[in-house]
Structure 1
């Protein structure tokens, strides 16, 4: 038992240290995204920098989420909890809430990687169907990464808007996949492209649904979430 308690305490200390690092260095996260997304986009373009129709979508995909995250961290940074809430042992983004924040970071990275790997750059001489698909997927990846970044910022900054923002991000993400799937049915896509596009949308849908299945019950039932984001104290004394 002593060994188990010591291990639990050690893991808690490491989680607290990671949360503290995220809170102190949050302003560097937009820069990290610019570096990662910028390098990935440059590798994907592979020499097509002279064609603005090729590189402009990647510039939007790289710059917009970083700007949105910067703004969200600033907007959500000023909330002060009442003393009775701030003293509560469950107040803060620790415990499983830290895992949810890391899952949001992973969601942003996975959506970005999925976009970069899924489709080649469009350009002045590309096929109309490629132009359309590329525009759809650029908008999808940019919006999804921005929405999950806003939810992450709200969660890290302990904003009361966090649960609603997270639910909105899930709902909009699901809606985008369904809209694209419905619209693609009316396009004359090459068979191999249609199959790949459907597989991509299924993958996106699956990830969102799995995320909802794991984290929605936690957001609704967690006492930490109730204390930290809704400032609710439950009658059982916690």
Structure 2
């Protein structure tokens, strides 16, 4: 009885996951609009209450540029990847794979697409949603935690503002590229996601290194900053630990992105 209930629940979840890629294929304009509705008011609110004084447009320029980049980066990542990975590019299979675990046999694209496991559904659909949420959460944390620094900010403040802006913009861009590649079943998707993770970790180290060089950071800023950087690192590491085995061993991932089946 319990097993039947579990199977029914799993089947219901899988049926719902089938709706995810279809929604993203046809409703990204809505997703983009929701993104703008969330980030633009937050940016305007931060601009209205800057941490350092603003006397003219020139003083506000660092804030305007930073917030514009953060808002535009994921959109640019999506649009560039959407144009770069058309149907022809998406079907091009790689000759070399980084996943050496298990024994696999190659199949052609047509056979892979006919397989019942082909497609960005199931857990891959959850990963799609997770990548989008990661972009949103990171941007939200930035707007809530990082003070808006005008041209009158001290050196440590401007360094903090610039490096944190670069972190959110760059990681948001690459996570959206990975999102499109997963959605359009581009074979390079697992490598792209690994690259995005590595960039994310690298950016946290860069921020810590740059701020340590500047010095003179107020004590009240150090503790929350360290917590934020450690939190970002922890989230990336958790994502790697949770998703890497799936990306390496999942039959669905191997059929969809590597066009290969397990050898019997």
State the 1:99 CA deviation. 1.0
- Distance (Å, rounded) in 1 between the aligned partners of 2:44 and 2:253: 40
User: Which residue of 2 is the match for residue 101 of structure 1?
Assistant: 128
The correspondence for 1:181, drawn from 196, 204, 208, is 208
CA contact (8 A) 2:156 2:211 kept: no
Name the stretch that deviates more: 186-195 or 42-51. Answer: 42-51
Name the stretch that deviates more: 59-68 or 85-94. Answer: 59-68
The correspondence for 1:190, drawn from 202, 206, 218, is 218
Report Cα offsets for 1:53-76 as digits up to 9, x if no partner.
Answer: 322210111112211211112222
The DSSP-based 3-state class of the residue aligned with 1:188 is coil
User: Which residue of 2 is the match for residue 129 of structure 1?
Assistant: 156
The DSSP-based 3-state class of the residue aligned with 2:85 is helix
Give the TM-score normalised by the residue count of structure 1: 0.91
User: Which residue of 2 is the match for residue 23 of structure 1?
Assistant: 25
- Distance (Å, rounded) in 1 between the aligned partners of 2:75 and 2:233: 24
- Distance (Å, rounded) in 1 between the aligned partners of 2:137 and 2:182: 19
The DSSP-based 3-state class of the residue aligned with 1:233 is strand
CA contact (8 A) 2:78 2:176 kept: yes
The DSSP-based 3-state class of the residue aligned with 1:92 is coil
The correspondence for 2:114, drawn from 83, 87, 108, is 87
Report how many residues are paired.
Answer: 236
State the 1:138 CA deviation. 0.4
- Distance (Å, rounded) in 2 between the aligned partners of 1:219 and 1:34: 31
CA contact (8 A) 1:27 1:70 kept: no
Give the TM-score normalised by the residue count of structure 2: 0.83
- Distance (Å, rounded) in 1 between the aligned partners of 2:150 and 2:7: 59
Runs (5+) with no aligned partner, structure 2:
92-107
The correspondence for 1:220, drawn from 235, 241, 248, is 248
Instruction: Write out aligned runs for 1:17-166 (5 A).
Output: 17-46=19-48, 50=57, 51-78=60-87, 79-80=90-91, 82-166=109-193
Runs (5+) with no aligned partner, structure 1:
none
- Distance (Å, rounded) in 2 between the aligned partners of 1:210 and 1:8: 24
- Distance (Å, rounded) in 2 between the aligned partners of 1:53 and 1:95: 43
The DSSP-based 3-state class of the residue aligned with 1:145 is helix
Structure with more relative contact order (C-alpha pairs < 8 Å, separation 6 or more): 2
User: Which residue of 2 is the match for residue 210 of structure 1?
Assistant: 238
